């Protein structure tokens, strides 16, 4: 067939049906944003999000993140452990389904997870697809199970490798150099910033970060432990560390409407800037949304009503606006 005919022929052979994992490898930016520094770090957050979901469901309180010497990442939690029994529909272990199928996960079942972040069934399988090698170890029902994968494909069926008193899931992955061509080096500060943020947003959870690439003078690895007792109140104090507060304490409130828990913390400082951060399911909503609009409207209405009732606005020769009420405000809505 000549090149001209080939160019103009559009037949059934032209239609490609890519399996989920192949599509992730061909178009990674559709799933993780980009294949640069941001995308590389996003892999870590996706695996950690699974552990956070376990914590939000009340089954886990400790998450460990390790940057290994070779820039591979290990994430371990003390949750229930990903199920390893046979998945009736897929005919393989549930662990293999979670790790190798797009759109597989427990967060679609409202009885498993009421609140969950991440890419909703895309996360850890995406990380697997974009990793040169990934090993999943599950501690469940007194036994240790393991399965390894290369570029998203399982190397062998899930096998039992021992017994244990532990429970939880451990995932170790090495990003694929053919996908992440810009860099494979993880930034400790970038990961630490996200882990600190997650500890503030999920009070009571302990997240440890260890960097095995660097050791201190005493021989211990570099690292930090992130744990917040007061959650958003501590977060606000952290954000306003270098500013002068004009009220003595952080105002905070928690409320559940329907099945949606909402938490807000705020303080005023002597600057003129407005500093509001909003989150939904632990994910920073940079573009705002109805939750941010509602907060701004509620704040303006409440303060204006109080000012009117107290006669504070009687001598003002201009109309006070929402912007005026938000000068020097630092707030977080979750």
The whole-angstrom separation of Cα 230 and Cα 254 is: 12
Q: Is 46 a catalytic residue?
A: yes
* Cα(132)–Cα(71) distance, integer angstroms: 12
Q: What is the 3-state secondary structure (H, E, C) of 263-322?
A: EEEEEEECCCCCEEEEEECCEECCCCCHHHHHHHHHHHHHHHHHHHHCCCCCCCCCCCCH
Inter-CA distances, 48 with 22, 44, 76, 77, 306, Å:
24, 6, 8, 9, 43
CA distances from 2 to 12, 18, 263 (A): 18, 27, 66
Six token digits for residue 219: 């021989």
Q: How many C-beta neighbours within 10 Å does residue 100 have?
A: 22
Catalytic-labelled residue, pool 4, 22, 46, 146: 46
Q: Any idea which residues carry the catalytic annotation?
A: 46
């Amino acid at each position: 067939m000549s090149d001209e005919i080939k160019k103009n022929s559009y037949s059934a052979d032209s239609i490609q049906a890519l399996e989920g994992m192949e599509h992730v490898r061909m178009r990674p930016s559709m799933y993780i944003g980009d294949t640069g520094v941001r995308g590389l770090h996003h892999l870590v957050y996706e695996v950690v999000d699974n552990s956070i979901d376990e914590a939000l469901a009340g089954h886990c309180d400790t998450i460990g993140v390790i940057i290994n010497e070779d820039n591979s990442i290990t994430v371990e939690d003390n949750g229930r452990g990903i199920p390893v029994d046979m998945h009736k529909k897929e005919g393989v272990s549930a662990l293999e389904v979670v790790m190798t199928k797009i759109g597989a996960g427990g967060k679609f079942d409202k009885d498993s997870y009421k609140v969950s972040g991440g890419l909703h069934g895309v996360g850890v399988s995406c990380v697997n697809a974009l990793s040169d090698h990934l090993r999943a170890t599950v501690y469940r029902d007194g036994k240790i199970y393991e399965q390894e994968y290369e570029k998203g494909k399982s190397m062998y069926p899930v096998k039992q490798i021992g017994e244990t008193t532990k429970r939880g899931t451990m995932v170790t992955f090495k990003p694929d150099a053919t996908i992440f061509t810009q860099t494979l080096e993880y930034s400790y500060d970038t990961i630490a910033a996200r882990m600190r943020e997650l500890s503030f947003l999920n009070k009571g959870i302990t997240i440890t970060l260890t960097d095995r690439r660097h050791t201190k003078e005493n021989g211990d690895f570099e690292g930090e432990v992130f744990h917040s007792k007061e959650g958003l109140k501590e977060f606000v104090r952290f954000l306003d560390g270098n500013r002068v507060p004009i009220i003595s304490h952080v105002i905070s409130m928690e409320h559940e409407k329907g099945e949606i828990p909402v938490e807000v913390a705020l303080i005023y400082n002597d600057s003129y800037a407005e500093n509001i951060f909003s989150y939904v399911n632990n994910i920073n909503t940079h573009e705002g949304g109805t939750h941010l609009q509602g907060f701004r409207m509620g704040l303006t209405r409440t303060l204006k009503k109080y000012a009117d009732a107290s006669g504070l606005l009687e001598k003002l020769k201009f109309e006070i606006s929402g912007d005026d009420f938000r000068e020097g405000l630092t707030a977080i809505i979750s």
